[in-house]
Amino acid sequence: MGQPSWCSEATSYGRVARRLTRIKAADTRLSPLSGMLDRSAAPSVAKGEPLLRTSGLSKTYDMGELKVVALNQVDFSANAGEFIVILGPSGSGKSTFLNLIGGLDTATSGEAWFQDHQLTGAREAALTRYRRDHVGFVFQFYNLVPSLTARENVRLVTEIARNPMRPEEALDMVGLGTRMDHFPAQLSGGEQQRVAIARAIAKRPDLLLCDEPTGALDSKTGVVVLEALTRVNAELGTTTLVITHNVAIRAIADRVVNFADGGIASIQVNAQRMSASSVGW
Amino acid sequence: MHALHLKLLREMRRLWPQILAIALVMAAGVATLVIGVGTYQSLAQTRSAYYESHRFADIFATVTRAPRSLLTQIAAIDGVLEVDARIAKHALMDLETMTAPASALLVSIPRQGDVALNRIYLRSGRLPEVGNTFEAVASEVFADANGIREGSRLKLVINGALREVTITGIALSPDYIYAMAPGEVMPNEGGFGVLWVPERNLAAAYDLAGAFNSLSIKLLPGASEAAAIERLDRLLEAYGGQGAYGRERQTSHAYLDTELTQLRAMSQVLPPIFLLVAAFLVNMTLTRLIALEREQIGLLKALGYSSWAIAWHYIEFVLLIAILGTVIGFALGIWAGNQLALLYARFYSFPILIFSRDPALYVIAAFVTVAAAVAGAVRAASTAAWLPPAVAMLPPAPPHYRRLLKADIRRLFPEPRQTSVMVARHLLHWPWRTVGGVLGAASSVAILVGSLWTVGAMEFMIDYTFNKSDRQDATLNFVAPKPLSALYEVARLPGILVAEPFRVVGAEIGSGHVTRRLAISGRLPETRLTRLLDASSATVALPDSGLLITRPLAEVLNVGRGETVEVKLLEGRRNTALLPVAGVIEGYLGMAAYMDINALGTLMGESDLISGAAVSIDPASQDKLFSLLKESPSLGHLSLRSAALERFRETMAQNLFVMVGVLVALAGVIAFGIVYNFARISLSEQGREMASLRVLGFRKGEVAGLLLAEIGVVVLLAQPLGWLLGYGLAIAMVKGFSSELFSMPLVVGPEVYAYSSLVVVASALIAGLVVVRRVDRLDMIAVLKTRE
Ligand SMILES: Nc1ncnc2c1ncn2[C@@H]1O[C@H](COP(=O)(O)OP(=O)(O)OP(=O)(O)O)[C@@H](O)[C@H]1O
Ligand SMILES: [Mg+2]
């Protein structure tokens, strides 16, 4: 309803294509995303090449009587190495969008592509692989494992990654080289968040998705965390998407995406990026 | 409805599988209590009522032949209340339903059935009347097994003459609740029966008019049994008295007693285990529930609910579980108790089996269960309730984890997987809970080892007794001792391959103050069929002189090899002698003594008499032999090994396997209950981390593996501990159940441990897999939105 005709066409085309891939997958005992997930088969994308693309991406929560449209027809693309800040009022669909492109959630309609492989419609196992091999997450509440030290939290991920950096290296990058053997409960919020970033980047992800990484932190600590993020972006070339409520942060991005009412209201490109240390709130 | 009650119901609905698992463990405790105590009470009450109403005697004695005039003297013995003298004779019986000859015990009843002691209970028909034709009343179990009814006719060899006996009724008596033929180890439902016949007929048949050979005595309350037995023995000595004995050595009574001991042991050991585990589960579950509801508790207190009201709220939660467990346990207990009672009714002949439902038992069971549940809850509930509201509303202090090993020790080992580290640290973070889980699972293993071993032990005993020790196909017991030449007669019978003679003489063997009456078996020094074995199943040679005694006898007399015992023969000239104990042999079926057949003859002052022969039979000529034996007038009682073995196994199968089956199920319930709750709580505590791991790209299987590994560690640690505890249980059982009639070999084979572990691991795995399905439903997105 209310969908442009090309969209439904695209969807049905997508479905056929998907079925075909699935048949092929059954042959080779691989999931539809497996080609992409094999690093040797998917050469690292050069800076500036498109990495992520969505078209008509929508998510509707069916609450019985009520249908909540969390995300409505989002067309978006991000290039390799870009640093993107997502802004928007509460409830505008930012997290929903991030979860969809991170392979944590499934869309109601529309498509999301990572390089030349489709995320929408992929199976659970393939999405897990996708997250495991390509995506790093950082969340507002850190989501560290309390029973593991900082180093061990990072090692948790490097153990299952294909081409990880050493945990110490990752922690050094976020400036935590001296607190590696502390448990999360022994670290401050900012330090915990930096452990989370180290954990997210240690596998050298293609995509780093951060949902309000500074949300629970004060300004000073927040800046340290942002510095870690920009550093990773600069040194590793990791495409980074950061959701924030903090308008001041927009200055450090290549592009700023403004969400409103479940869709992208506007996108602005920063001619010049500021360093994280120069922002403050 | 009260708001807190509403909350209670919601919680119960949400946590129903955990609640059910706990309730089932409680139910197992309640059920074992109801079955154990209930059946014990039923049997004990039924027995004592039956003994009372049918005047079961206190002292029993057998003589060769004594005149009735002696009875006045016996009645005059101090403490004797009543005397009952009968004629009791064994006879062979030809039954259409059996190829082998069956044996009957003919017991006289005076005219008009007017008996003083061991009165019979006539189930149907009428008492036999004196006449030209032999009439008899048959014992019920035997009659049922052979389809014998009023009007049935049986062919018996009575004192060497073939007689037809007409059955006029079916009856029971308190001295044959558990009816066993002489020389057998288990009751033989079809092959042995008691026939009550008019005294005049029996006296005429055996030429015992005015005489008796079997005596029962009832004592005045408080009278000394030992003193009465001593006086009695002196009186009966001249009449071939074989030694009077009390109830504890009366076969029927003693076997029933063993059963009662076992039941009591079961009801003392098992319910506490189940209830302890249940209390632990309650504690574990409630502690977690309260941790989750900490802020709610703070809020409730801030709203003005008192600490007591909150504590009571959680106690109510636990009470509901206890009530559920009790109700299920009652239902289970009543059902299983009835099944058990039916089983007992088959083996034990009671006029009626009262499955007593003493309300006190139910009250006690319910009370104990509730008490265990509340005991498990009290700590968790009180710490929560008395937390100041301000503290409660704050999130709990973050869990403080520790590294397990010092850095320099850690360096010695390869770096473990971080998921393994998570498992280890989580288990150690709650040491008492982990220990409780291990102990609980171990108790389940222990219950299994402690019950399954009996199957192997029984098999061992069968093998020991029938394949290693008594390897004859049949034993022929002559009616009276015969000269050795009778052996040639036996050997000439069709189908007899080997015949080994033996002599059996009643004797009193004593050392110090302890004496026991038993039969000394005289055997040839070299025997092929019957062998005397030590505990390691090696043959022990029969010495030229001196006795070989079985371990139980050696223990009772407290004598060992090389020591001497006093032997007083109870037959013939009643010679006495001091004999050396030449060796101690194993004896699972009670007390026995063996000596060289010639040495025994010399001791008796007789030459070359034998009491019977152990024979091996050619199966091809077996039928011919049996039909000849059935009609043979002078041969005694024949007991067949294969029949005995079959019956032994059958009895065992029914008695033991039912019990073991129930215990396996109950142990499974414990293992499931422990593991299920353990895993649910672990999932509840680590759900957030697990969802986070999923976000990081861990597969479902990898995350589930975390949970399974935790369960695996607990279950694995429980195995050796459970084996050890189970072995201890087996030792306790051997100690507790061994009587002078019967003792169990302590053999716990590796298969016992293997099966026990298998059952527990399987239950644990099922429980684990049920919980692991919840890993699939972990909500990755929700966990990102919220702080713990
Ligand atoms: N599980 C859900 N069920 C129903 N509605 C949901 C669910 N998750 C999100 N929504 C709705 O979808 C819309 C978008 O939510 P989303 O979390 O993406 O917002 P957001 O932009 O991240 O907001 P915030 O800045 O507050 O985090 C909201 O209106 C929200 O109520
Ligand atoms: Mg959000």
Closest by CA to B679, choosing from B773, B758, B760, is B773
Q: Nearest Cβ partner of A159 from B401, B403, B418?
A: B418
Q: Give me the residue label for tokens 């409730």.
A: B300
- Where are the domains positioned within chain B? 59-249, 416-471+642-788, 496-617
Q: What is the pLDDT of residue B644?
A: 63
Query: What average pLDDT does this structure show over B386-390?
Result: 79
Give the whole-angstrom CA distance, residue B443 versus residue B440.
5
A172-181, B123-132, B265-274, B655-664: the lowest-pLDDT one: B655-664
- Residue B466 DSSP symbol: I
Interface of B with A in 662-701 (CB under 8 A): 688-689, 692-700
Q: What is the largest CA-CA distance in chain B?
A: 102
Q: What is the pLDDT of residue B643?
A: 67
Instruction: Convert the pLDDT of each residue in B136-160 to its tens digit.
Output: 999 998 898 888 999 999 988 888 7
Instruction: Convert the pLDDT of each residue in B47-79 to its tens digit.
Output: 899 999 999 999 999 898 999 999 999 999 999
**Three-state SS for B182?**
coil
Is residue A43 scored above 50 in pLDDT? no
Q: What percent of chain B has a predicted confidence (pLDDT) above 90? A: 41
CATH of region A5-278: 3.40.50.300
Ligand 1 contact, A67 CB (< 6 A):
no
Query: What average pLDDT does this structure show over B705-734?
Result: 94
Answer yes or no: do A155 and B694 touch at CB < 8 A.
no
Q: Nearest Cβ partner of B786 from A130, A132, A141?
A: A141
Give the whole-angstrom CA distance, residue B536 versus residue B631.
42
Give the whole-angstrom CA distance, residue B13 versus residue B399.
29
Answer yes or no: do A146 and B689 touch at CB < 8 A.
yes
Q: What is the pLDDT of residue B185?
A: 59
Burial class (CB in 10 A: 0-12, 13-18, 19+), B56: buried
User: A52 CA to chain B: closest CA distance, Å?
Assistant: 19
Ligand 1 contact, A94 CB (< 6 A):
yes
Answer yes or no: do A148 and B421 touch at CB < 8 A.
yes
Closest by CA to B324, choosing from B787, B765, B15, is B15
Q: Where are the alpha helices (DSSP H) in B293-306?
A: 294-302
A-B Cβ pairs (cutoff 8 Å, strict): 91
| Chain A residues with beta carbon closer than 8 angstroms to that of B698 | 128, 132, 160
Instruction: Convert the pLDDT of each residue in A182-199 to its tens digit.
Output: 999 999 988 999 999 999
Is residue B408 scored above 80 in pLDDT? no
Q: What percent of chain B has a predicted confidence (pLDDT) above 70? A: 95
Burial class (CB in 10 A: 0-12, 13-18, 19+), B265: middle
Measured on CA atoms in the order A131, A137, A143, A145, is the torsion positive or negative? Answer: positive
Rounded to two decimals, the ipTM of the complex is 0.83
Collect residues with CB below 5 Å from ion ligand 2: A 95
Closest ligand 1 atom to Cα of A59: 12
Ligand 1 contact, A215 CB (< 6 A):
no
Strands A239-243 and A83-87 turn out to be: parallel
Ligand 1 contact, A71 CB (< 6 A):
no
Is residue B503 scored above 90 in pLDDT? yes
For residue B647, what pLDDT band results from cuts at 50, 70 and 90? low
Is residue A99 scored above 90 in pLDDT? yes
The alpha-carbon radius of gyration of chain B (Å, integer) is: 33
Comparing B461 with A18, the larger pLDDT belongs to: B461
Q: Nearest Cβ partner of A185 from B400, B693, B699?
A: B400
Architecture of the domain made up of B496-617:
Beta Barrel (2.40)
Give the whole-angstrom CA distance, residue B754 versus residue B757.
5
- Give strand ranges (E) for B76-178: 80-86, 88-94, 102-109, 121-125, 134-139, 153-158, 161-172
| Chain B residues with beta carbon closer than 8 angstroms to that of A95 | 781, 784-785
- Residue A274 DSSP symbol: P
Answer yes or no: do B418 and A104 touch at CB < 8 A.
no
Ligand 1 contact, A281 CB (< 6 A):
no
Q: What is the pLDDT of residue A254?
A: 94
Closest by CA to B666, choosing from B763, B765, B575, B523, is B763
Answer yes or no: do A128 and B695 touch at CB < 8 A.
no
| pTM: predicted TM-score of the whole model, two decimal places | 0.82
Q: Tell me, yes or no, if B777 comes closer than 8 A to chain A by beta carbon.
A: no
Give the whole-angstrom CA distance, residue A186 versus residue A80.
36
Residues near B501 by Cβ (< 8 Å), separated by ≥ 6? B484, B487, B524, B597, B610, B612, B613
Closest by CA to A228, choosing from A246, A261, A260, A252, is A252
For residue A45, what pLDDT band results from cuts at 50, 70 and 90? low
Given a contact cutoff of 8 angstroms between Cβ atoms, the answer to whether B553 and B592 are in contact is yes
Is residue A54 scored above 80 in pLDDT? yes
Nearest protein CA to atom 30 of ligand 1, as residue: A91
| Chain A residues with beta carbon closer than 8 angstroms to that of B425 | 147-148
- Residue A166 DSSP symbol: P
Give the whole-angstrom CA distance, residue A131 versus residue A129.
5
Return the H-helix or E-strand segment holding A255: strand A255-260
Is residue A7 scored above 70 in pLDDT? no
Ligand 1 contact, A70 CB (< 6 A):
yes
Residue type, B487: L
For residue A141, what pLDDT band results from cuts at 50, 70 and 90? confident
Distances from the Cα of B401 to the Cαs of A182, A188, B411, B429, B749, in angstroms?
10, 16, 20, 7, 42
Instruction: Convert the pLDDT of each residue in B430-463 to its tens digit.
Output: 899 999 999 999 999 999 999 889 888 888 888 8
Q: Give me the residue label for tokens 């308190």.
A: B174
Is residue B639 scored above 90 in pLDDT? no
For residue A36, what pLDDT band results from cuts at 50, 70 and 90? very low
- Where are the domains positioned within chain A? 5-278
Long-range contacts of B415-420 (CB under 8 A, 24+ apart): B415/A155, B417/A159, B418/A148, B418/A152, B418/A153, B418/A155, B418/A156, B418/A159, B419/A156, B419/B702, B419/B705, B419/B706, B419/B709, B420/B709
| Chain B residues with beta carbon closer than 8 angstroms to that of A157 | 696-697
Residues near A187 by Cβ (< 8 Å), separated by ≥ 6? A150, A179, A195
A210 alpha carbon – ligand 2 mean position (Å):
10
Q: What is the pLDDT of residue A279?
A: 81
Nearest protein CA to atom 24 of ligand 1, as residue: A90
For residue B188, what pLDDT band results from cuts at 50, 70 and 90? low
